[in-house]
Structure 1
């Protein structure tokens, strides 16, 4: 007999909860905010809306199904199962945070604050959950398969992200490395920069877009489901030993960007989750390209 489906509710601690945890009580948190010209009631109301949304989605889970919850900070320790239906209750960025830990499970994004979030990935309202959960589990339900980016180091460390991967120094200080395109033996350059950013079409609404826009880049932004990435070198520094000719490009699958570390320590992290970074030391090589795995987002 097969296991009943499990709904995994992914959420994050609210700003209100963080404030109360830091200051001890609601009153002390309110006093702290008032001293800085802010009213705690706005933050408390957003907290209440988020909790109501989470409760409404939880109540929509079929009675015969199993249910689990995981907070954003615990995602790297949570074991997702193949039969899971993942429901992200929160902001667009929370979907990206969860994506790297999944392996093809369907994802439903629930927007807790319509109008405040762009709604690119959290496309639905809490009231839609009763309809969406059975559909997400059913075979043949249409989903958007969003491209992800993968970074693999020569010691088998692996990182997957939905929006972008950043490679550089801790604290975004000067990183030294050799950069090239896999398979193109004539194009390798020693560089000193603030790091390298490699992003997807989904990430083209965020960090990668800001760099693209700032540079007035002529490279077309990829679409979310397109098997193509964009990459940019941030603030490359020209010197007798380092160059600036390789600072941007696209990576259609199966092309890869190849970076060899020439610093004491560099890191690679995805989607802003710096605490869950790969650590790289002098001489190590890391390759970045389109990931075969995709995020299956229920539209």
Structure 2
């Protein structure tokens, strides 16, 4: 039996246990995967208790997590809001993806040494390429948002060698800083969507438009120009819900193909599963199952 958890605050909504249990069952593996709720100030103590790195007790965490009480140290942990940057500092060793993303969403116990990785970008790219059959190579890609969600996906996108990757953000300084930080990895620039009338790059359609902002979580729509969409555009919202998000609805009104980020959620989990078990799980069935349960 190997023990796993997902840590966050809040965490009750997380679908990670369902996803990883489904992966394991399909591959004939037996795992224990639970949700782990931690207060922000207690992140280090909570993770230490899970990995048995100190003798800190589980009284520091409100948890459903059997592994935190089990004498066997935890094997792997997924990390969600608001702890991805804290996990970056916690890890003993970082993958290239984690270093460049500046955030960790996957921790692995390697004989007592904790390795941090970031699987979000691979999850996004795999969902676009495999599940939606939409090419990225030689295409024009627009990333809306310049926060952590965007940053974590830039390198995997650039590795697909798009013709151009443009970052647009309400704060153009953040978009500029992010674009300049990734210029050595590919063709990347930035634009200000609050002044799109004078921004040439936002006056014509893109092949892929990715919403990496949290606007959809609050039922809000970003004031994007309709010109960025066409019948040949994939509009991808990293958020997911039972109904189309405002971003998806707006894109559909301007003829784009609009999809949400449920596939990204499952595909990033599949990459974490591979890091832990060395096997790639089938994802299409899991995506469909969760979609039906929304």
TM bucket by the smaller chain?
under 0.3
**Which structure shows the higher helix fraction?**
2
**Which structure shows the higher strand fraction?**
1
Q: Structure 1 length normalisation: TM-score?
A: 0.26
Structure of greater Rg: 1
Q: Structure 2 length normalisation: TM-score?
A: 0.26
